[in-house]
Structure 1
Amino acid sequence: MPIEPITHTQPQPGMAPSAQRPVRLIARDLDTAELLAAHSHRWGQVTHASLGLIRVTVGNSSWIVPPLRAIWIPPNALHEIVVLEKANLRALYVDAELAPFQGTDCEVLNVSALLRELIAALAQADPDTPRETKLAALILDELAGAATLPIRVALPTDKRLKALCEMMIAAPGSRFGLDDFARHVGASGRTLARLFERDLGMSFSQWRQQMRLAHAAQLIARGMPMSQVAADLGYASQSAFSAMFKKTFGQSPSVFFDGKAQ
């Protein structure tokens, strides 16, 4: 069931990070399909699930986040979180003055073994103690050096293109071409190709690849065999899927999802 929206125009007592306590950890155990409705706050946030699977949406972009990844959400960004599989949500609230990333863009982060342990230790640390202060400093240092990853599914504003993208998200393994989809949304393939470039800044095939990668994260995190993942996403073979994945991320899917990615 939905969780009440949290809109932090005034921070809740004891929740907001500060210069004295620059990193605060909020832990919530959430059931499948629960929703943290769209909200914002003046501090930054590292959204991570130590177990389970979540989807984070900010603006016209959406990310599917398995346990080995996290999303950096900049201060004041309106964001929504949907639980895809029962999750142990661990949100790090970071004082805006010490944000590890500049600008207004979200970042997908590799969660290193050290960062995972630091988050777990912070959850156990007593507040306002030297240990909490030291852990916060180490977390900020680890975040600043974290690898960022190009996983993003951009969502369009044009109604025809939005209808097409929703069809593709619902059936990521479909082998329909752009002209095939065009017949279902009332626009020519040429028009849709222009809309992809104008609205999303990428081609139809590039968008479909990003969308399939997002689905791959979800399926692999569930333990689905790689051969089945490839088949479900419309690839002719596991090797074809792995080749595409390695071209995008520089690593095979098995390395990327087993926690060895750096």
Structure 2
Amino acid sequence: MSIPAPVPVVRHTMPYPDGFEPTPERPITLIARDLDRRDAMLPHTHGWGQLTHSIDGVLRVATADSTWIVPPSRAVWIAPGVEHAVTVLQATRLRPVRILAERAPFPAEACRVLEVSTLLRELILALEQLPPLAPSPRATMLSELMLDELARCETRPIRVPLPRDKRLQTLCARLVDTPGAPLTLAGWAGQVGASERTLARLFEKELGMSFGQWRQQVRLAHAAPMIAGGMPLARVAEELGYASQSAFSQMFRKTFGTTPTAFFSEP
């Protein structure tokens, strides 16, 4: 399945020009790029692994079957050869780390959401100060330390699965863009050309969960940049379609076993 092109106007179709690939002598490279809100990168692949991270701002990263909303306290590992697209939701200083395929820290996983530790953040900033390609003792030291730290970073279960059915794709794309939309499944059925019963069956078949459960995952993903940006929980709840702050917090604690503030706090 191919990834649908991002909804926003595309200004950038690839992250970087050729010539900055990691090598055995320099297994990790990084080239900084600052992007504006609603910039996007069309679906593409790399021969290397990539840790997609931004110093500030919020990204949406999508693969064929999942999407993630990524604030600065998180990063997404994307394995070599995995097709992905990136949309900028808030102006961001993008710092993608390219990792030689043979040195992939998670060889058995296509994607993984990581909590960016203080050490990892500083290593990314230090790597940015080096010439992008030239091998050096310092580049080697930083690369090896970063690979060790990546393997130690905690993971975060913030993933929104995506469907293959085109009717369900339309519904899901709209909810990803407007997670607080109040429409019921019956209401969405009238907009995407399928009955409520058909949509309910497709959610269970393709995504392994009900419409309500999937919408909850979308809202949880959107909560990350809101809370990380300091938005009051009462407003987060309102933006995401919850009746009250307590209803949002209760749902969150039931899902993750902790409060929203604690979960999305800076590491």
- Asked if TM exceeds 0.5, the reply is yes
Structure 2 counterpart of 1:243: 250
Equivalent in 102, 114, 118 of residue 123 of structure 2: 118
Describe the shift of the 1:71–1:7 C-alpha distance in structure 2 as closer, same or farther (beyond 3 A). Answer: closer
Structure 2 counterpart of 1:165: 172
Equivalent in 144, 152, 155 of residue 159 of structure 2: 152
Is 1:100 aligned with 2:113?
no
Q: Which amino acid aligns with 2:140?
A: T
Structure 1 counterpart of 2:135: 128
**Separation of aligned partners in 2, 1:93 and 1:192:** 39
Alpha-carbon displacement from aligned partner over 1:103-141 (angstroms, at most 9, x marks no partner): 352111110111101111111235422111111111101
Structure 2 counterpart of 1:81: 86
**Separation of aligned partners in 2, 1:198 and 1:252:** 31
Structure 2 counterpart of 1:233: 240
Structure 1 counterpart of 2:13: 5
Is 1:209 aligned with 2:195?
no
Report deviation, 1:190: 2.2
- For the 8 Å contact 1:149–1:249, the answer to whether it is kept is no
Report deviation, 1:170: 4.2
- For the 8 Å contact 1:3–1:37, the answer to whether it is kept is no
Q: Which has the higher strand share?
A: 1
Report deviation, 1:155: 2.3
**Separation of aligned partners in 2, 1:85 and 1:33:** 7
- For the 8 Å contact 1:7–1:41, the answer to whether it is kept is no
- For the 8 Å contact 1:32–1:85, the answer to whether it is kept is yes
Equivalent in 53, 57, 62 of residue 62 of structure 2: 57
**Separation of aligned partners in 1, 2:180 and 2:186:** 16
- For the 8 Å contact 1:73–1:107, the answer to whether it is kept is yes
- For the 8 Å contact 1:32–1:86, the answer to whether it is kept is yes
Report deviation, 1:101: 0.9
Describe the shift of the 1:37–1:163 C-alpha distance in structure 2 as closer, same or farther (beyond 3 A). Answer: closer
Q: Secondary structure at the match of 1:148?
A: coil
**Separation of aligned partners in 1, 2:71 and 2:34:** 15
Report deviation, 1:7: 8.7
Structure 2 counterpart of 1:140: 147
Q: Which amino acid aligns with 1:24?
A: T
Structure 2 counterpart of 1:184: 191
Equivalent in 186, 202, 207 of residue 200 of structure 1: 207
**Separation of aligned partners in 2, 1:90 and 1:30:** 11
**Separation of aligned partners in 1, 2:105 and 2:53:** 16
**Separation of aligned partners in 1, 2:41 and 2:31:** 13
Describe the shift of the 1:20–1:212 C-alpha distance in structure 2 as closer, same or farther (beyond 3 A). Answer: same
Gaps of 5+ in 2: 1-8
Report deviation, 1:163: 2.8
**Separation of aligned partners in 2, 1:187 and 1:39:** 31
Is 1:35 aligned with 2:23?
no
Q: Which range moves more in the overlay, 218-227 or 177-186?
A: 177-186
Structure 1 counterpart of 2:6: none
Describe the shift of the 1:231–1:5 C-alpha distance in structure 2 as closer, same or farther (beyond 3 A). Answer: closer
Report deviation, 1:4: 4.3
Alpha-carbon displacement from aligned partner over 1:64-83 (angstroms, at most 9, x marks no partner): 11100101011011111111
Q: Which amino acid aligns with 1:153?
A: V
**Separation of aligned partners in 2, 1:168 and 1:129:** 47
Describe the shift of the 1:215–1:258 C-alpha distance in structure 2 as closer, same or farther (beyond 3 A). Answer: same
**Separation of aligned partners in 2, 1:139 and 1:251:** 29
**Separation of aligned partners in 2, 1:231 and 1:7:** 35
Is 1:69 aligned with 2:92?
no
Describe the shift of the 1:6–1:177 C-alpha distance in structure 2 as closer, same or farther (beyond 3 A). Answer: closer
Describe the shift of the 1:51–1:171 C-alpha distance in structure 2 as closer, same or farther (beyond 3 A). Answer: closer
